[in-house]
A = this chain, B = another copy of it.
Amino acid sequence: MEFDEVVRGRRSIRTFSTAEVSDELVEALIDCALRAPSSMNGQPWRFIVVRSAETKGRLAETKDKYCPPGKREYPAGFLRGAPVVVITCIERAKAFDRGIESGVLATGHLLLAAASRGLTGVYMSAYKTGAPEVADEIRTILGVPAEIDPITIVPIGYPGDVAGPKTVMSAAEVVFHEAFGRK
């Protein structure tokens, strides 16, 4: 699919069809994620592909347990309906103090790669700054060692719903020239 069409078509749909997503397809998405930039080209990524209903349920419970009051309009239970959930982790020793950034960049590639193949994925964080118990609980669920940081949780599947139109700002509204505030 054309790049701009992928970017414009990408949406965070939280209802999935029952259509299967093969391991080969998931590996193709991860291959795109591995082509993201990373600090010092450390490529610190590891991915966990989850299909177990029990594990999905535990991830959703943990997300909801630590969901701040202001974000409860987006409960995590929908991830139980995704055929596959990909957790992006980073190996701290290879991340050069930019593990979050590298993990987020790889996740951005993963989401676009999904959109390019007609899939939908939803970005969810796997840690919370100042609240290490969030990442720790996710580590326990997935057997992730202490030197690895889980960064994101992305439920992926074919959309089971059609997204309404998304309104984005225009570049003219958000661009300044030479200094902040200067149009």
Contacts and interface: CB of A to CB of B under 8 A. Distances in A.
Interface of A: 1-4, 6-8, 10, 12, 26-28, 30-32, 34-37, 39-40, 43, 45-52, 55, 68, 70-71, 74, 89, 96-98, 100-101, 104-105, 107-109, 111-113, 116, 123, 125, 129, 142-145, 148, 168-172, 174-182
Given A3-B113, A111-B37, A171-B30, A55 B104 contact: no
Given A35-B168, A111-B37, A112-B112, A178 B48 contact: yes
Contacts of A105: 104, 107-108, 123
A46 B174 contact: yes
A105 B108 CA distance: 6
Given A3-B112, A4-B32, A70-B96, A180 B145 contact: yes
At the interface, is chain A mostly helix, strand, loop or mixed? mixed
Given A3-B1, A30-B171, A43-B168, A142 B180 contact: yes
A30 B101 contact: no
Contact of A48 (B6, B12, B34, B179): B179
B178 A109 contact: no
B169 A43 contact: yes
Contacts of A170: 31, 34
Contacts of A182: 143
A156 to B, nearest CB: 14
Given A3-B1, A98-B125, A108-B109, A168 B34 contact: yes
A48 B180 contact: yes
